[in-house]
Amino acid sequence: MSGMPGHTGGAVLTADEPSAAGTASAGDCSIVTRGLTKRFQGGQVAVNSLDLAVPRGSVFGFLGPNGSGKTTTIRMLLGLVAPTSGSWELLGTPMPAGVSGVLPRVGALVEGPAFYPYLSGEANLRRYDAAGPSADPRTAGMRIGLALERVGLAAAARKRYRAYSLGMRQRLAIAATLLGPRELLILDEPTNGLDPQGTREVRGLVKEIAAEGTTVFVSSHLLAEVEHMCSHVAVMRTGRLVAQGPIAEFRELRAGEAVRIRVESPDTAEAAAVLAALGLDEIRLGDAEVSAELGAEAPERICAALVADGVAVRGLAVQRPSLEDVFVGLTGKGFDVDG
């Protein structure tokens, strides 16, 4: 498997392996794409032969640096832009033929909705609801009340939008996507531009919505975001899918990568000799520290051997590659890990 040292199988699939979309049955997936491609006029390929398989019930993180094709993919999924080639299914229905039947079951936040600052959250949602093609005005109050409750804004329903915090504003935007029962929610970078509190609120909300059984497909350029929220992840790089699978499998990849042991000591030459005698590889000498690949050796045995040889051990640490190291290996770029 390219770019994934230490991988020994499992559900993470890279572009080099048999397509996940080819093996997943549409019935198990809320989104399936096959060879989905978008080439913009002028020749730019924004999305290149994308095979996605988004399991039903997952919180699926669509991760990639800016410009890697996430928004274009989401726009294609929703029928907002036509693919150059390829096919896709939403909720088991081939698109775009099934668009009118499927889209009412899909909530989407692609470009933030524009709200009126002087109207309350509730009045804003009433306008949104009235614009919906299938909205029955007799049940509008119930739909709006449920949506506000679901995002935790029932108590602030009558407050003017301009008095909402950033997190409340984004929760209202998500409420606008929930003005009906949704089986799938598609969110494009929902925490972009939010403060830390707003980010926490939105992440918590996404988890709650997923816990109620809605599949959530959420794009992000933040690894930390995906780590916090998602059960599955797909990684994009310049329009191509690099890997996808359960996030736990990515964590296993991390565990499979070279784990190093770091010894802090003024006696670097002696410490290095002990590590070499124990058969450790990739020994590196630093300033008052030595590190090596841990391999199958137990840290406590290394510690005992160092002490037995009279090496002054000031510190001993086992260092595992971070999940970010795995993603950087896959994308060739760092992710913004703040967040």
Ligand X SMILES: Nc1ncnc2c1ncn2[C@@H]1O[C@H](COP(=O)(O)OP(=O)(O)OP(=O)(O)O)[C@@H](O)[C@H]1O
Residue number with CB closer to ligand X (190 or 321): 190
CB of 219 to ligand X, least distance (A): 7
**Encoded amino acid at 100, one letter:** S
Distance CA 308, CA 306 (A): 5
Rg (CA), the chain: 25
Residue number with CB closer to ligand X (33 or 291): 33
Tokens of 67: 């410009």
Cβ atoms within 10 A of the Cβ of 159, count? 14
CB of 237 to ligand X, least distance (A): 10
Residue number with CB closer to ligand X (71 or 120): 71
Residue number with CB closer to ligand X (225 or 252): 225
Q: Provide the pairing of β-strand 260-264 with 93-95.
A: unpaired
Among 284, 323, 320, 285, residue whose Cα is nearest residue 299: 320
Distance CA 5, CA 105 (A): 40
The CA–CA distances, whole Å, from 231 to 61, 207, 225 equal: 8, 10, 12
Cβ-in-10-Å burial (0-12, 13-18, 19+) of 44 comes to: exposed
Distance CA 71, CA 335 (A): 17
CB of 119 to ligand X, least distance (A): 29
Residue number with CB closer to ligand X (126 or 237): 237
CB of 161 to ligand X, least distance (A): 25
CB of 62 to ligand X, least distance (A): 9
CB of 44 to ligand X, least distance (A): 5
CB of 132 to ligand X, least distance (A): 26
The CA–CA distances, whole Å, from 171 to 122, 202, 333 equal: 12, 7, 31
Q: Strands, DSSP E only, in 27-128?
A: 29-39, 45-50, 53-55, 59-63, 85-90, 93-95, 106-109
Residue number with CB closer to ligand X (14 or 71): 71
CB of 285 to ligand X, least distance (A): 42
Residue number with CB closer to ligand X (80 or 312): 80
Residues at the contact surface with ligand X, assessed by CB under 6 A: 40, 44, 46, 64, 66-72, 221
Residue number with CB closer to ligand X (69 or 245): 69
Among 275, 267, 249, residue whose Cα is nearest residue 311: 267
Q: Provide the pairing of β-strand 215-220 with 260-264.
A: unpaired
